[in-house]
Amino acid sequence: MSFDVHNPWEAHAYFALGFWCADCDLSLEIDFQDECSDEWCIQLARIAFETGWFIPLPDPDGAMDLFTAHCPECGQKHGLTRPAYERFVVHAA
């Protein structure tokens, strides 16, 4: 499995090094031996997605907000939605 900069959760994990809610004090960080490695970013991104974290999706031109995140509760308060994580996974041919 390799890091995908086009996956918003993986890109967020890589650039922000964690998930911190823009509205409350909740944070999501993991203790993984190889912090900042591709594997660490993928693992953090998967955990964030699976536990319900929201991040802004890319603009139609592909631009991404790499630092804003919302915890599950705050994301729901804002009425945010999330596509399937697999939508962003590029499968090798």
Domain for residue 46, yes or no?
Answer: yes
Query: Alpha carbon of 91 to those of 37, 45, 78, 88: distances in Å?
Result: 20, 17, 32, 9
Using the structure block, give the residue that is written with the tokens 């660490």: 40
Domain for residue 89, yes or no?
Answer: no
pLDDT higher at 65 or 32: 65
By residue range, what is the domain housing residue 44? 8-58+65-83
- Global pTM? 0.79
Domain for residue 15, yes or no?
Answer: yes
Number of domains observed in the structure of the chain? 1
Domain for residue 13, yes or no?
Answer: yes
Domain for residue 2, yes or no?
Answer: no
Indicate if the pLDDT at residue 60 is higher than 70: yes
Q: Return the percentage of the chain with pLDDT > 90, whole number.
A: 27
Contact, 56 vs 83, CB < 8 A? no
Tally of CA atoms within 13 A in the half-sphere of 48 that contains its CB: 34
Domain for residue 52, yes or no?
Answer: yes
